[in-house]
Chain A
Amino acid sequence: GAGVSQSPSNKVTEKGKDVELRCDPISGHTALYWYRQSLGQGLEFLIYFQGNSAPDKSGLPSDRFSAERTGGSVSTLTIQRTQQEDSAVYLCASSRTVATNEKLFFGSGTQLSVL
């Protein structure tokens, strides 16, 4: 596609429910990243995928968070038993590779509100 697409753009859920956030990276981009942007917290790295390599999950805040990337393209971030502190904007980005000088292209994010 023309850019990184994320859906839904907004998600309101009740505490304790599971949510799934979707990311469609730019076609041909092998690297895909998830970040979380909380008010006043900046961007927090969550996880990244590079091709068929094992993902770097070092930023996932708890075992309630998981992500998968099917067929090296679309990725889904799942948050189980959501808590109010999970409320944030979840940003997805992709790049051609994980080389250090690669430009990351970001989606517009999913605004998650946990009531």
Chain B
Amino acid sequence: GEDVEQSLFLSVREGDSSVINCTYTDSSSTYLYWYKQEPGAGLQLLTYIFSNMDMKQDQRLTVLLNKKDKHLSLRIADTQTGDSAIYFCAESSGNTGKLIFGQGTTLQVKP
């Protein structure tokens, strides 16, 4: 079945780069997503990547996709304290907008 796995916690210093990793199982996923959840708030889409792409860059965010290994990563350059949140990786299921989410990675940014 579909499954998405993430490490649960990452701690970095302000100004460093953060790399959050994710593995997924559904090779037919058309899109893969990164969502951010700040305390007490709903999830917010950060970025997504089409499955035929290897990389997508959006300002401080870089998404890398290794389709062969079913591995997705999110790199945040020059991490700021405002980046502290839970980051969820998600894959699309079938031909619908239904998303399968990972457990979320809590990013802690120390000043």
Q: Which residues of B contact A107 (CB under 8 A)?
A: 42
Chain B count of residues within 8 A CB distance of the other chain: 28
| Interface membership of A103, Cβ < 8 A | yes
Contacting pair A35 B96 (CB below 8 A):
no
Interface of B toward A, CB cutoff 8 Å: 4, 6, 8, 30-31, 35, 40-45, 48, 50, 88, 90, 92-93, 95-104
Please give me the residue from chain A that is nearest to B103 by CB atom: A42
Q: Classify chain A's interface size.
A: 20 to 34
Q: Which residues of A contact B103 (CB under 8 A)?
A: 40-42
> Quick one: which of B4, B40, B97, B100 contacts A104, CB cutoff 8 A?
B97
> Quick one: which of B4, B42, B90 contacts A91, CB cutoff 8 A?
B42
CA distance A35 to B45 in the complex (A): 15
